[in-house]
């Protein structure tokens, strides 16, 4: 087992101890065993080295950012539902070239309340969008893509590595 794997096992064991709220030998042993199994399966079934063009260092904080977006979207959607809502189907184009990051964007859009991905074909996305009832018709909204996925897309664009920067 490499030094990096040992560090991952120790961190996962620490998280396990916090979750079970026990510092007994059984809790520590179980945490180590489960951590080793997790590292083994992650190395075998999550081939991160095969994913090209993604800076994983810039994605470390993305889950926390996404949780914040989910929370703020749920507050926004709650207000919309209370005061009246309407739905539209919107076609938007993403600026993300990397397939892996584009799928992360599609999943993130679906996770945030108020939007649901219907189709992803290349860089074009078809999204079901929940909006305030009194907002203008969709024909008059030119920045629908920015409103739906702007901050999320910008965050994922930062993790995209271009071939010309290598």
Confidence tier at 37 by pLDDT (50, 70, 90): very high
Euclidean distance between CA atoms 25 and 61, whole angstroms? 32
CB contact at 8 A, 66 and 111: yes
Confidence tier at 52 by pLDDT (50, 70, 90): confident
- Supply the pTM of this predicted model: 0.65
Euclidean distance between CA atoms 4 and 8, whole angstroms? 6
Domain ranges of the chain: 3-46, 56-160
92's enclosing H/E stretch is strand 85-93
Q: 3-state DSSP call for residue 132?
A: strand
Coarse DSSP helix, strand, coil percentages of the chain, rounded to the nearest 5 percent? 60, 15, 20
Confidence tier at 166 by pLDDT (50, 70, 90): very low
């Amino acid at each position: 087992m490499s030094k990096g794997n040992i560090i991952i096992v120790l961190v996962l064991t620490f998280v396990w101890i916090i979750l079970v709220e026990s510092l007994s030998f059984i809790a520590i042993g179980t945490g180590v065993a489960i951590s080793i199994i997790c590292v083994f399966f992650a190395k075998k079934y999550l081939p991160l080295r095969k994913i090209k063009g993604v800076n994983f260092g810039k994605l470390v904080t993305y889950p926390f950012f996404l949780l914040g977006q989910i929370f703020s979207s749920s507050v926004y959607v709650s207000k919309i539902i209370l005061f009246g809502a309407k739905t539209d189907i919107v076609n938007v184009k993403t600026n993300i070239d990397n397939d892996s990051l584009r799928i992360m964007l599609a999943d993130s859009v679906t996770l945030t309340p108020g939007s649901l991905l219907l189709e992803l074909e290349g860089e074009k996305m078809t999204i079901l969008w929940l909006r305030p009832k009194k907002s203008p018709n969709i024909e008059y909204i030119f920045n629908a893509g920015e409103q739906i996925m702007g901050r999320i897309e910008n965050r994922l664009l930062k993790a995209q590595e271009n071939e010309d920067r290598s």
